[in-house]
Structure formats: C-alpha cells, structure tokens
C-alpha cells in the first residue's frame, strides 16, 4: 500500500468544487454506476439531505453533491424539497438520474437553502470537473465550514489476486464532532475503483468507520448531518475484495479521522488514547472514547497539566468492566500508575517527566486495564478558549 495525491479523483472518478464566502458546492462523479454504502448520524434530528440520500443509496449511484454554509436541517418538508431539488439540478448537469445522486449539506441549522445560489454554483462546478488531484482538493475546500485546512487522503494497494486498486477520500469537520454513525458536522466522501460486491460494501464501510470516525471526538456534540459514503465503480477490473482492500480502506478512514481532530475548533494539541488489555473490545472502545470525550481531560491537556486522576475518573465512568487496582497508566512512555500503585506524586520524577510530555503538540495516553486481551484507540484534541469564541460567534 502506498499513499497518492488523488483524493477522491481515483481512476474512474472526477470532482471539483467552488467556495464563495461561506457558501460552497462540491461535486464528485463516477464515470459509471457505482455500488454505494452510506452511514448517517444516529441523532434523532436528521437533516433533510440524509433522509433523501438514504433512499438514493438503495440503488446504484453516479455522483455526490454537497453544499457548505447551510445544513438544511430542521427545515421540514421544504428542506426535503430543497434536498431533492439539489439532486435534480446536479443530475441535469451531469446527465444522470436524480435518484442516482447522493446529497449532503453542512452549516447552520434551521435555515432554508438559497436555491438560486446552489443552482449557480452546481452549474459552475459541473463545467470544471476533472480527475486531477487539484480538483479533489477544490472539492475538499468547498465543503469546509470552520475547518482551517482541507482534508484529503488516498492510497493504492494490490489485492491478493494481483489487481491494483485505489481508494481515496475527502472529509470536513472541526466542531460538533462526536459521530456515532448508524449500522463528524462530519462529512466524508470515499471513492474506489475496486469492484466491491453489494453484499460486502456495507460491512467494509462499517468496519472502517468503527475504528476511525466512531472513535473520534472533538467536543462531544453529535451532528444532525454526519454522513460517510463509499462509492465503488469497479473500473479496476477485480471481481472481489480481500483483506488488503479492507486494510487500505481502514487506513484512509483512520488518517482522515486524525486530520479532523488535529483541525478541531480552537485545538492546540492532538490526543491519542490507547486502551489495552480490556475484557472486551466494547470495553476498550468505551474507555478510550470516555477519555477523549472528557472536558476535564481536554482542558488539562490544553493547560499542560498531567492530571492523571481525571483520566482514571473518565475510564471509571465509561461503563467498562475492570478492576481499578490493576490499572496502569502512561502519558507517552512515562508511567504514572502501575498496577493500581500511584507513582506520580508531587515532586516525583514521574510527574515532572509527565509535565514535559504533555507539553508536546501530540500526546499519547495509554491505559492498561489488565482485564483481558482487547484493545482500542480513540482520537481527540484539547479544548481551548478559542473553541468557545468560534462557537459563540458561529451564526454571525
């Protein structure tokens, strides 16, 4: 497996985007019908485009249209009409059917889309579609809201049967990130030229999302618009997928997830939490997410305070089954607690070394529960006063 700069413009796909002020449009198009897998937020309030896309994803798909600047969420029947209209406009420009288009939105909740602007931007972007990497980058920029940088990852890998396949993706997300996608606002669009049988594409995406986006937390708020979609158009010529494909898809989603948390609203530090030796995978996941979700942990990391008690407390309330007297805890390679015995008291070398470690821009926390053989990793960031400022001024 090797990284490329294709983004979503892997072979057989083209894309582009435009951003004008706070409003943008991105288009991604497959040269032939593609199998589609879609995962959406579990938030009870689901944005109109998610409802429309859930129906469209039942069949073959030819493209994706996404807008930024307006979430088209909590907009009732009018919002559904606008989401369908977006599909119709895009389909007309691309020469496909409206039901072959996935639609996504991100931005402010509760406002109607400006369909005149949407229409103009879709028509503008449709004339600039290309398979060049810079067009994938343009699409990634078009869907940004409070993001400070575009997010794009792609790879090539060789299947065990010898065919080379490509997988690429773009995503956006910097705040309102605590995805729990149904089996981050986070939007992720993935493309592959591999043939992925219909019976396998959903499981492949769910598996990748489980260890990436569903282990990503910035602020603990689940969006109304979270969506991950995978399009597979089969132009690579393979007939099936194997473990090499899944490994590559997992890599793409994990790297995109890391890019999201590193660009978290107001974030100054990246946090990676690894929970090892848990009784079950579910316990490992619960414990890891609890730590990256904790505002007390996040603010301590921002302040450079190795307050290990907050980490232990977060694990304790996670619902994971473990014996506190057996836990070991590390910040980087500094052991703060070993098998329930506290090492990092005031003025100890352990505490001083932990203070140096937590001053870094990227911090790894490891908790050994010593209750079993399962592990999980969660991704997050610190919380700074800038996060408050950004969200206090969001709609203005």
Above 80 in pLDDT, residue 333? yes
Structure tokens at 62: 């030819």
Q: Do 201 and 117 lie in a common domain?
A: yes
| pLDDT average, residue stretch 234-253 | 97
Q: In terms of pLDDT, which residue wins out, 214 or 393?
A: 214
Above 50 in pLDDT, residue 178? no
Above 70 in pLDDT, residue 369? yes
Q: In terms of pLDDT, which residue wins out, 64 or 145?
A: 64
Q: Which of 227, 262, 297 is the last residue of a domain?
A: 262
Q: Do 239 and 92 lie in a common domain?
A: yes
Q: Do 188 and 285 lie in a common domain?
A: no
Q: Which of 262, 285, 316 is the last residue of a domain?
A: 262
DSSP at 85: H
CA distances (Å), origin 207, targets 126, 247, 349: 33, 10, 42
φ and ψ at residue 118, rounded to 5 degrees: -55, -50
Select from 206, 207, 211, 200 the least CA-distant residue to 242: 200
CA distances (Å), origin 201, targets 206, 233, 310, 331: 9, 11, 40, 38
Above 90 in pLDDT, residue 26? yes
Place of tokens 């942990």: 297
Q: Do 180 and 239 lie in a common domain?
A: yes
Above 70 in pLDDT, residue 183? no
Q: Do 153 and 219 lie in a common domain?
A: yes
Instruction: Write out the catalytic residue numbers.
Output: 185
Residue 174 has a CB neighbour count (10 Å cut-off) of 28
CATH code for the domain in which residue 170 is found: 3.60.70.12
Cβ proximity of 330 and 273 under 8 Å: no
Above 80 in pLDDT, residue 356? yes
Cβ proximity of 41 and 50 under 8 Å: yes
Return d(Cα 291, Cα 317) in angstroms, integer. Answer: 10
Q: In terms of pLDDT, which residue wins out, 182 or 149?
A: 149
What is the tens place of the pLDDT at every residue in 30-51? 999 999 999 998 888 999 999 9
Q: Where do the H-state alpha helices sit in the chain?
A: 48-56, 76-94, 115-126, 133-142, 198-210, 243-262, 281-293, 295-302, 308-316, 349-358, 385-392
Among 151-155, 200-204, 263-267, which is the least confidently predicted range? Answer: 263-267
Q: Do 100 and 205 lie in a common domain?
A: yes
Structure tokens at 264: 């978290």
> What's the pTM value of the predicted model, to 2 decimals?
0.91
The band of 174, judged by pLDDT with boundaries at 50, 70 and 90, is low
Cβ-defined contacts of 389-393 (< 8 Å, 24+): 389/266, 390/146, 390/175, 390/265, 390/266, 391/175, 391/265
Q: Do 249 and 278 lie in a common domain?
A: no
CATH code for the domain in which residue 296 is found: 3.10.20.340
Above 70 in pLDDT, residue 285? yes
Q: Do 232 and 333 lie in a common domain?
A: no
Return d(Cα 44, Cα 351) in angstroms, integer. Answer: 44
Select from 8, 385, 39 the least CA-distant residue to 180: 39
Cβ proximity of 21 and 181 under 8 Å: no
Work out the angle between the directed axes of helices 76-94 and 115-126 (0-180°, nearest 10). 20
Q: Do 238 and 307 lie in a common domain?
A: no
Contacts of 91 (CB under 8 A, 6+ apart): 63, 97, 98, 100, 101
Domain that holds residue 71: 2-262
Q: Do 297 and 171 lie in a common domain?
A: no
Q: State the Cα torsion 317-322-324-329 to the nearest 10°.
A: -90
Select from 45, 108, 56 the least CA-distant residue to 84: 56
The band of 221, judged by pLDDT with boundaries at 50, 70 and 90, is low
Q: Which of 212, 242, 262 is the last residue of a domain?
A: 262
Q: What's the angle, vertex CA 205, arms to CA 182 and CA 92, rounded to 5?
A: 85
Cβ proximity of 283 and 325 under 8 Å: no
Q: Do 242 and 336 lie in a common domain?
A: no
Among 180-189, 254-263, 349-358, 366-375, which is the least confidently predicted range? Answer: 180-189
Q: How many domains does the chain have?
A: 2
Residue 341 CB-density burial (10 A; 0-12 exposed, 13-18 middle, 19+ buried): exposed
Q: Do 301 and 206 lie in a common domain?
A: no
């Amino acid at each position: 497996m090797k990284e490329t700069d294709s983004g979503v413009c892997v072979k057989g796909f083209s894309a582009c985007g435009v951003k004008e002020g706070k409003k943008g449009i991105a288009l991604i198009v497959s040269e032939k019908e593609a199998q589609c897998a879609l995962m959406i937020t579990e938030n009870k309030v689901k944005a109109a485009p998610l409802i429309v896309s859930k129906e469209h994803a039942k069949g073959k798909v030819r493209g994706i249209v996404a807008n930024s600047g307006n979430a088209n969420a909590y907009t009732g029947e009018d919002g559904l009409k606008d989401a369908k209209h977006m599909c119709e406009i895009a389909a007309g420009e691309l020469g496909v059917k409206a039901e072959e288009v996935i639609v996504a939105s991100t931005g402010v909740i509760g406002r109607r889309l400006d369909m005149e602007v949407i229409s103009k931007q879709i028509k503008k972007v449709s004339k600039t579609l290309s398979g060049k990497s810079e067009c994938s980058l343009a699409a990634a920029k078009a869907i940004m809201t409070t993001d400070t940088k575009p997010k794009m990852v792609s790879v090539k890998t060789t299947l065990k049967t010898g065919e080379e396949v490509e997988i690429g993706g773009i995503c956006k997300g910097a705040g309102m990130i605590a995805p729990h996608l149904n089996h981050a606002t986070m939007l992720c669009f993935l493309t592959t030229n591999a043939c992925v049988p219909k019976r396998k594409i959903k499981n492949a995406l769910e598996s990748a999302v489980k260890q990436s986006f569903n282990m990503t937390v910035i602020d603990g708020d689940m969006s109304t618009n979270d969506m991950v979609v995978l399009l597979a158009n089969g132009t690579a010529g393979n007939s099936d997928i194997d473990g090499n494909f899944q490994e590559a898809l997992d890599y793409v989603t994990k790297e995109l997830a890391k890019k999201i948390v590193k660009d978290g609203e107001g974030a100054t530090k990246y946090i990676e939490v690894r929970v090892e030796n848990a009784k079950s995978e579910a316990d490992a996941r619960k414990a890891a997410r609890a730590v990256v979700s904790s505002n007390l942990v996040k603010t301590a990391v921002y302040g450079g305070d190795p307050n290990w008690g907050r980490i232990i407390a977060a694990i304790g309330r996670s619902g994971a089954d473990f014996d506190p007297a057996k836990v070991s805890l590390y910040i980087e390679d500094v052991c703060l607690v070993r098998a329930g015995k506290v090492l990092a008291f005031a003025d100890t070398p352990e505490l001083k070394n932990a203070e140096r470690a937590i001053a870094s821009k990227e911090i790894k926390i490891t908790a050994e529960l010593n209750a079993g053989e399962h592990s999980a990793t969660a991704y997050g960031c610190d919380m700074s006063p800038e996060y408050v400022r950004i969200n206090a001024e969001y709609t203005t």
